[in-house]
Structure 1
C-alpha cells in the first residue's frame, strides 16, 4: 500500500443511490445500491467515466453503532437532471490522503488502519467534517474476495 496527499481543485458532483443500514448489515445494502446504480446508469446524464464508480460515506462511521449512510455513485459533469429516487452530492475542493489498496475486499479495513498510522507518522489527522470516497475502476474485482482487486481510498485530512 502507499499513501499520497492530493488536493482537489474543483467541486465534484456525484449522482447515485443511497444505502442506509446498521454498520454490521451495510454490506448487503451497499451491494443492492450498486446493483441499482449500474442497472439504471442509462438514466444518469453526463457520467464522466462509466468504468468508474464511487462509494461515498459521510464522516459518521467512527464508533457509530447506529444507522449509517453509503452512497453508490457515478461522477457527473455537469449535473443536468436527477433520476427519480437517486441522490446528488457536491464535494468541495479539499485535501485528501489517497491510499492505493490492492487486496481482497474483506481486508479493506487494513487499508484504513494503514492510512491512520501513515497520517500519524507524517503530521496529518483526519478531517472528520468531510465525506470519504472509495474509487472503483476496471482494476476492482467485484463479487469476489480477489487478492488482485485494486481501489483507491480518499480520506479527508488536515495538518496537525
Structure 2
C-alpha cells in the first residue's frame, strides 16, 4: 500500500443516498444504497463523472456502537435540485491521507489500519471533525471479492 498527504483546495459537492445501520450490519445497507444510487443516477444533475462514485462517512465511526451513516454519492458541479429522498454533502478544503488500496473489498479495513500506523510514524493524527471518503472508479471491483480491486481512501488528518 502507498500513503501520501494531499491537500484539497476547493469545496466539493456530492449528491447521493444515505445508508444507515449498526456498524456490524452496514455492508448490506451500503449495497442497497449503491444499487438505488445507480438506478436513480439520471435524476442527479451535473454529475462530474458517471464512472466515479464515492462512499462518504461522517467522523462518528470509531467505537460507535449505535447507528452510523454512510453516503453513496456522485460528485456534482454545480449542485442543482437535489432529487427527492437524496442528500447533498459539501466537503471543505483540508488535509487528507490518501491510501491507495489494492485487494479484496472485504479487507478494506486493513487499509485503515495501515494508514493509522503510517500516520503514527509520520507525525499525523486523525482530524475527527471532518468526513472521510473513498473513491471508486473503473478499477474498483467489489463483486467476488476480487484481488485486483482498487480503492482510494481519504482520511482527514492534522499534524501533531
State the TM bucket, normalised to the shorter chain. over 0.9
Query: 4+ runs of 1 displaced by more than 3 Å?
Result: none
> What is the Cα deviation at residue 142 of structure 1?
2.5
Match of 1:144, SS?
helix
Range moving further from structure 2, 138-147 or 35-44? 138-147
Q: Structure 2 length as normaliser, TM-score? A: 0.99
Paired position in structure 1 for 2:55:
55
Paired position in structure 2 for 1:153:
153
Deviations 1:50-85 (A, max 9, x none): 000000000000001110000000000000110000
CA–CA separation in structure 2 for the residues paired with 1:19 and 1:143: 19
Is contact 2:104–2:142 with CA below 8 Å preserved after alignment? no
CA–CA separation in structure 1 for the residues paired with 2:24 and 2:143: 19
Match of 2:9, SS?
coil
Deviations 1:14-72 (A, max 9, x none): 00000000001100000000000000000000000000000000000000111000000
**What residue ranges of structure 2 are gaps of 5+ in the alignment?**
none
CA–CA separation in structure 1 for the residues paired with 2:105 and 2:151: 9
CA–CA separation in structure 2 for the residues paired with 1:87 and 1:19: 11
Say yes or no: does 1:121 pair with 2:121.
yes
Paired position in structure 2 for 1:134:
134
Match of 1:49, SS?
coil
Paired position in structure 2 for 1:36:
36
CA–CA separation in structure 1 for the residues paired with 2:147 and 2:47: 29
CA–CA separation in structure 2 for the residues paired with 1:40 and 1:29: 16
Q: Structure 1 length as normaliser, TM-score? A: 0.99
Paired position in structure 2 for 1:4:
4
Paired position in structure 2 for 1:98:
98
CA–CA separation in structure 1 for the residues paired with 2:101 and 2:145: 13
> What is the Cα deviation at residue 143 of structure 1?
2.2
CA–CA separation in structure 1 for the residues paired with 2:144 and 2:124: 33
CA–CA separation in structure 2 for the residues paired with 1:91 and 1:144: 31
Is contact 2:56–2:133 with CA below 8 Å preserved after alignment? yes
